[in-house]
Every structure is written in C-alpha cells, then in structure tokens.
Amino acid sequence: MLKNSKSIMLLNGACAITGTSLLAIKHGVPDELVWWIVSFLVVSAARMVLLRKLKREGFASARPRATIRLMALSAFFQGMVWALLPVFIRSLDLLSSDSAITLLLTGLICGAAIRQNGSSLVSFSFSAPIIISLAWTFITLGGYVGIITTIELTLLVATVGHRMVDSERRFLRIEVSKLENEAVNRSLTLANEDIRQKNLRLETLANGDPVTGLFNRIYFNGKMAGEIITAGVNKQGLALILIDIDRFKLINDAFGHRSGDQFLTIIGQRLRQAAGNSAIVSRISADEFAILMRGDDAAARSEALTTRILQDCREPIFLGSKSTIPSLSSGLAYFPDHANDADSLFTAASMALMEAKQAGRRQWRIFNPRIRDRIDRQRRIEQDLENAIRTGKVEAWFQPQLDLTTGAVVGFEALARWFHPELGAVSPPEIFGAAHAIQLSEQLTARIAEDACRLLQKLPDLGLPEATVAINISPRDFTLFAVSDMLDRMIETYDLPPHRLEVEITEEAMLDPEVAGEELHKLERAGYKLAVDDFGMGHTSLTYLIDLKIDRLKIDRSFVADVANNRTNHALIAAMVSLGTALNMEILVEGVETREELETLRRMGCDIGQGYFFSRPIPADMITNWLTQFRNKNPQASRAVA
C-alpha cells in the first residue's frame, strides 16, 4: 500500500498540472485557482512527509491498522482538495466546455480504485469527496443532461465501488496466500536450519572424541588414507606420530576415571597446541594419540615436534589437590619412506612406538626395517610355539653344577632350548616372552619341568643319586597358575623326592609377597629346594630370605667376570659369601669361564660353580658321554660323592 501511494501522488500531481493548465488557458488565473493550487500543494506535501515517516519508522509492519487509517485520512484531504475545484471556480461548465475537467476527476476516481489495490478505505476516502462534489454540481445544473450525467455517475460509483471491494478481496486472498507461503517458507527454513545444526552435531559426534574434543580414530583413518593418496599424486611426504601415555592405567586407578578423563583432555590440549593448525591431531584409543603432518619437510618437523612434545608434556598436571607428571612415548613413520598405504604406515609407527617403550619409556623412535624383522620373528615364534611345546621341539638342555671343593658334579640347571627350522636358535627370553604373550606359560614351564624330572630318574644310574636339577620360574608365572600344584603333579608322576628338584626364582618374585609369597611357602613346605637366581641384581629382603628358608644363592655372572683383578667384584662376592655362611645357604656362582676365576672363587669360599669352563648346556641324551669324559679328565671328581 505504501509503495502504491507514491505513484498515486505522482499521478495526482500530473493531473493537477494538466487541470490547472487547461483552466488557465480558458479562464485565466483567477484568485480562486491560485488558492486551490496552494491547497493542493500543502496537502500533497503533508502526504509526502507522512509517507516518508511511515516508511522510515516501519510503522506499517508494527501497526498496520493505524497506518491504513492515517493513509485514508490523508487521502480524504487530497480528495477534498479535488472536490473543491468545481466549487472554487464557479464559472466551470463541467458538462460542455469544461468537460475535460469532468473527465479528469472521473479518471482520478477510477485511478484510485485501481492503484489503491487492497485498501478500499483509502480509495473510498479519496473518491468520496470527488464523487459527492460532481454529483452536487450535476444536480445543481439541472436539465436532462444533468440528470443523465448524475445517473451515469451513480453507475460509475457503483462500478468503482464493486471494483474496489472485489479488488480488496483479491488482494486479501493474495496477501493471505503470501503470508501462508511465507509462514511455510519460514517453517521450512527453520526446519532446514534445525536439520543442519543436528547434522553438524552428528558430524561432530561421528568424527570427534567426546573426552578430548580431538578427532577420533574413524575420522583420522579416513583422513590419513585421503592424505596419502594426495601426497602420492603430488609427490609429497607425510609423517605419522603415535604418542602413548605410559602406565595410564595407574592414573585411572590412583585418581579415578573422571580425573583420568581430565588428564586425557589436558594432554590432548597440549598436543593440539604444540602441533598447530597445519597438523591433524586425534585420539585413537584409550591412551594413544596420533598426529599427521604434511609437506616435503614433514619428517624433520615431526622429529622436532616429537622432541618438544615429550619435553613440554612433562609439566605437572593437577588433578584436584594432587599432581602427576605425564610420561609419554612416541613412534614415528614416514610416507613413502616406510610405507605406501595407510595401514602399513600405521603399523610402522606402532612398531616404532613399541621400540620406544621397550627402550625405557619417555623415548621416541623412528621406524626401522629391523624393527619389522624382529616383530615378524616374534610373531612367528608366537605362532609356532604351542606346536613346538606339544611335539617336544622346545626342550630342556642342562648345564652341570660342580662342587668347587671336590670337583664333583652336584646338579644341573635346566635351560629352555628351541631350534626353529626357519628362524634358527630361539633364545630363552624369546621363548618365555612369547609364552607369556599367548598364555602358554604353564605349558612351557611344565614342559621344562617334565624334562627335568626325566633326567632326575636317570641320574642314579649315572652315579649321581643325590644330584639336583634346577628349573627357573618367572615371577609372573606365580600370577598365572599354581606353580606348586603343577610341580606336585610332576613329582608324583615320576615318583621323585621333592628335594631333588630345585626351584630358581628371581629377587623380583620376592619383592611382592602378596603375589608369590603363598606359592613359595607351599613349595618350601613341600620340600622343594629354593634358590634365588641372579642374587645381588635386585633388592632382596633379608627377612624374607630367612623366612622362606632359601637353600641357595646364585651370584650373577656380572660379579664373577674378572673377579681376580676387579676389587669391587671381589668385595661384593666376599660379602655375599659371608651372608650365605651366616644364613647357612650355599653360594653358587654362575658364569665361571676361566681357571683364574675358578681358583679365586674357590679361595673365597664359594660352594658351587657353573659356567662354560665346565660345560655349556647340553641335551639330556649327551649327559652320559659328558660325564664319562669329565670323569676321565678329573679322576678325583669321580671318587667324590655327589
């Protein structure tokens, strides 16, 4: 309505100029015409000011009904000005010589009906004064022509009125439809925005880690695969950094899972801040993070970043009233140097991370093909170990133990041996590590214990009725199975006295009485001999040594080496010999390799020796020949009672 008002006012102005020009030509410029022109200008200016004010202040949207009333009032005054034209100038003959003015006024009436579409009140307010003025003028003139003209004007008014009402109805229908469409569009817009926001939230949930706010593993894997394709096309490099929190379970246990989540969040923030916006940072598992760096210098930047991260992340993290210092380990791998696809790159970085953790934690390592070879070897060992145990490919070899005073053979130590058809000799640490990893520790220990029992059955026939055979029990074995029950079954099966089977444990097993203590006491009560292997390498409690009634202390090779010339080693062994004498324990020295070492250890009072000077570990079926050769070379030993 306000938009049409401007064009209507322009039409009014044009009509005013036309009308006054016609009147001036025919009647001159009487004072009445001047006053009419002044009235027209005043009313038109007032309408223009009102129109601008309504538009500027948005009055139509805020108060539409009041706007219509104001527009109708201003239109009424404009119509009154036009209605006064025949009144002011009485000399007008609207039916003959000045019929052009009649036509002009009639046109204004019709124009108002058409242009003020949708507002009959405004149109009627403008047209009514003009219609009344014309009707009055025609009736005043009288005569046949005046009556006919009045009738025609009445018909015109009816037609125009009908037109205005019809126009307003159509306008209202259009406006209602427009409003409905706007409401629908607004509703659709709101619905689309709601859907967009929900999609954003779902995308965030799908791609993000809820604890740290970093990307999750699913998003990271997809992103890394895409970046590798892009890097391959552009001949660029990528660096993958894997970061693991050392012993994160201890933090959860000590502070609780909520504080553990807070710890992870802080670590994630530190990583994101250190990596910057050019890198992709993700949490890919409970305590593991990944950073992907792009560009030709990605390798150099990743190494500098990893060094900085491992250093900066040592800043304490406060969890409530307590603090903890993070410990991180990291592994790096590069594309295309170390891998050609995402899975291989991730595997390479994981291998490097494993290498870093094995190196002592708080370390970082770059992938090296040798790491893959070692892990492939470990995987093959784990794959074939169960069958090797079952078929006897893993077996015990035995290293003799001699009385240093008499030279007699007093026992043997059982050592695991396995010659893989493709990998060659598999070392004992590899064997026991693989057994622990795939939960075959009990089967492996039972295999070695069974071979030891078979040898114990044969030793009386070889002239060694009281010789012992020692087997090694790992500290973690005590947490995995009942060692005493397994050994009891072996002793019963082979009908052997328990004191002839010696159980070697490390000092580490004695440091945690809650785990191994009860089993060790069972072994001691059953009559098995107990020996502490690698004595002096740990922190054995003297109280526990006495409480367990340890029979033998085995001194590690590291103290025996060059004992004749090394004063420190000499003093340490002397102290341990004195301790053994005081506690009524035998002292066995391992790693005797030279005659000079043997003579020195004998003079120091060591009881038993074991090492390459006497014999390397040998298979059970070679012990008979070895004993024969040993006795032939040492006739005094053959006369000694074992």
- pLDDT recorded at residue 153: 67
Task: State the average pLDDT over residues 380-399.
Answer: 94
User: What is the Cα–Cα distance from 162 to 332, expressed in whole angstroms?
Assistant: 87
Query: Are 386 and 443 contacting, i.e. CB atoms less than 8 angstroms apart?
Result: yes
- pLDDT recorded at residue 397: 96
φ/ψ of 380, rounded to 5, equals -65, -40
pLDDT band for position 628 (cuts 50, 70, 90): very high
Go through the domains of the chain in sequence order and give each one's CATH number: 2-182 (no CATH), 217-367 (3.30.70.270), 393-639 (3.20.20.450)
Does pLDDT of 451 surpass 90? Answer: yes
| 9, amino acid identity | M
Does pLDDT of 554 surpass 50? Answer: yes
Max mean pLDDT range (258-272, 347-361, 396-410): 396-410
Q: Is 448 helix (H, G, I), strand (E, B) or coil?
A: helix
User: What is the Cα–Cα distance from 556 to 410, expressed in whole angstroms?
Assistant: 19
Query: Distance between the two ends of the chain, CA-based, in angstroms?
Result: 124
pLDDT band for position 58 (cuts 50, 70, 90): low
Number of alpha carbons in the 13 Å side-chain half-sphere of residue 456? 26
Residue 262 vs residues 313, 316, 320: alpha-carbon distances, Å:
15, 13, 10
The Cα diameter of the chain in Å comes to 172
| Sign of the CA dihedral with 501 first, then 507, 513, and 516 last | negative
Residue 336: asked if its preceding bond is cis (omega within 30°), the reply is: yes
Residue 564 vs residues 75, 551, 574, 575, 632: alpha-carbon distances, Å:
127, 27, 12, 15, 29
pLDDT digits (tens, 9 = 90+) for 574-607: 988 888 888 888 999 999 999 999 999 999 999 9
Q: How many CB atoms lie within 10 A of CB 299?
A: 20
* CA 417 distance to own-chain centroid: 44
Residue with tokens 């090694």: 472
CB burial class (10 A; 0-12, 13-18, 19+) of residue 600? buried
Residue 284 vs residues 117, 215, 317, 346, 367: alpha-carbon distances, Å:
67, 8, 21, 11, 19
Q: How many CB atoms lie within 10 A of CB 140?
A: 9
Angle of helix 64-88 relative to helix 2-27, nearest 10 degrees?
10
The residue among 43, 63, 79 whose CA lies nearest residue 2 is 63
Q: How many CB atoms lie within 10 A of CB 289?
A: 27
The residue among 479, 415, 424 whose CA lies nearest residue 447 is 415
pLDDT digits (tens, 9 = 90+) for 191-227: 676 666 666 555 555 677 888 888 888 889 888 999 9
- For 389-398, 517-526, 529-538, 620-629, which range has the lowest pLDDT when averaged over its residues? 529-538
DSSP state of 208: B
Residue with tokens 């709101």: 190
- Encode 419-431 in three state secondary structure: EECCCEEECHHHH
Q: How many CB atoms lie within 10 A of CB 256?
A: 13
Q: How many CB atoms lie within 10 A of CB 480?
A: 15
pLDDT band for position 641 (cuts 50, 70, 90): very low
- What does the block give as tokens for 368? 């090296």
pLDDT digits (tens, 9 = 90+) for 142-195: 666 566 766 766 776 666 666 666 665 665 566 556 656 776 777 677 667 666
The length of the chain in residues reads: 642
Task: State the average pLDDT over residues 258-274.
Answer: 90
DSSP annotation string for 268-281: HHHHHHHH-TTSEE
Tell me the H-state helices in 256-395: 257-275, 298-312, 342-358, 369-391
- Which residues sit opposite 294 in a β-bridge? 238
The residue among 581, 576, 579, 520 whose CA lies nearest residue 590 is 576
| 327, amino acid identity | S
pLDDT digits (tens, 9 = 90+) for 403-416: 999 999 999 999 99
